[in-house]
Amino acid sequence: MKIVVTGAAGFIGANLIKGLNARGIDNIIAVDDLTDGDKFRNLADLQIADYIDADDFYELFAESAFGNVEAVFHEGACSDTMEPDGKYMMDNNYALSCDLFAACQEQRTRLLYASSAATYGGSSTFRESPEFEKPLNVYGYSKLLFDQRLRRELGADFSGTATQVAGFRYFNVYGPREQHKGRMASVAFHQFNQFRAEGKVKLFGEYGGYGRGGQMRDFVFIDDVVAVNLWFFDNPGKSGLFNLGTGRAQPFNDVALAVVNTLRQQQGDAPLTLEEAAHGSLIDYIDFPPALVGKYQSYTQADLTTLRSAGCQHAFADVQTGVAAYMRALTEGEAAKA
């Protein structure tokens, strides 16, 4: 069985390869752009059969250069929500995805791809339906346009394909192997480094009708994202567009407190309440950045009705559980480097 993973050296792509490796699957073609050479670290401990540069892959794949490929996990994209270059975003996220879809259909290769909760943007309802799709930036639009293209070609529920096509609208994913993402890494990753450097973490203050640290997101642990992708890989008859979040919105304060208490516990200190952490200046609330005004989702919560209706009953970790596991992984990683 041959598998392709695009964005293979990225956060989700590398974790998918890890998940496939855990099943004994290593006939994997990894596709990425290693201009940022440090991303190799995400692949260094994984087993793959080959690496192909993203500039070369799509044309070669369309020519059936890789023979019989069972499935493509398409995670490759520019995920920087602040990227202003719309032409680049549409070429990279939309046009390449369209070409890949056409080639997969021709070769009867299953396509499991990354969409995004950014397609909902300013909406207050997060259900896989056009009336709730209101992207706030060109990144969200580039993802939405590909979803819309597939709806036109395959029908609203993608039922017009004999070969599996499944898209996943990722909500706020966090976990190991995101260190290369810089400002786009999760708040948990940044807070880990802040606590290590300064003994405190930072959160936005009041915004959008929410009190300080009170903005709410659907935070989903990377292990759960991998598990759902692999569930669909195990169920090739399931196609469609699916939210991939926990179905549970939690405030950023919950993330901050989980970071603080997990790292304090490692130092032998007792856990704190949110009030105690804030009063002790372990959580530092900063002014909301003007650059994000009008472009920021203050609340997200995945509607899992479609996912559950497909038969996927995966149980998702809450913030307290997932962030604690992530902090332990980061600490163990630091220890391994020492």
Q: Which two tokens stand for residue 127?
A: 């259900």
The rounded Cα 314 to chain-centroid distance in angstroms is 17
- Rounded to an integer, what distance in angstroms lies between the CA atom of residue 243 and that of residue 22? 25
End-to-end CA distance of the chain, in Å? 38
Chain center to CA of 212: 25
- Contact between 75 and 10 (Cβ < 8 Å): yes
Please state the φ and ψ torsions of residue 79, each to the nearest 5 degrees: -105, 15
Q: Which of 112, 44, 117, 46 is nearest to 79 (CA)?
A: 117
Angle at alpha carbon of residue 39, lines to 189 and 29, rounded to 5°:
120
Query: Tokens 């909500």 correspond to what residue?
Result: 171
Q: Select which of 58, 113, 120, 139 is catalytic.
A: 139
Range list of β-strands (E), the chain: 3-6, 28-32, 50-53, 71-74, 110-116, 165-170, 172-174, 201-204, 216-217, 219-221, 240-244, 250-251, 283-286
Cβ partners under 8 Å of residue 82, min gap 6: 137, 183, 291, 295
Half-sphere exposure at residue 51, Cβ-oriented, CA atoms within 13 angstroms: 13
Separation of alpha carbons 115 and 135, rounded Å? 12
Residue 295 is among the residues annotated as catalytic for this protein: no
Hey, which residues does 210 pair with through a beta bridge? 207
CB atoms within 10 A of CB 281: 9
CA distance 259 to 191: 7
- Check if 337 is active-site: no
> Would you state the torsion angle of the CA atoms of residues 98, 309, 244, 161, taken in this order, to the nearest 10 degrees?
-10
Indicate which residue of 2, 134, 181, 200 is catalytic: 181
Which positions are catalytic? Answer: 139, 181
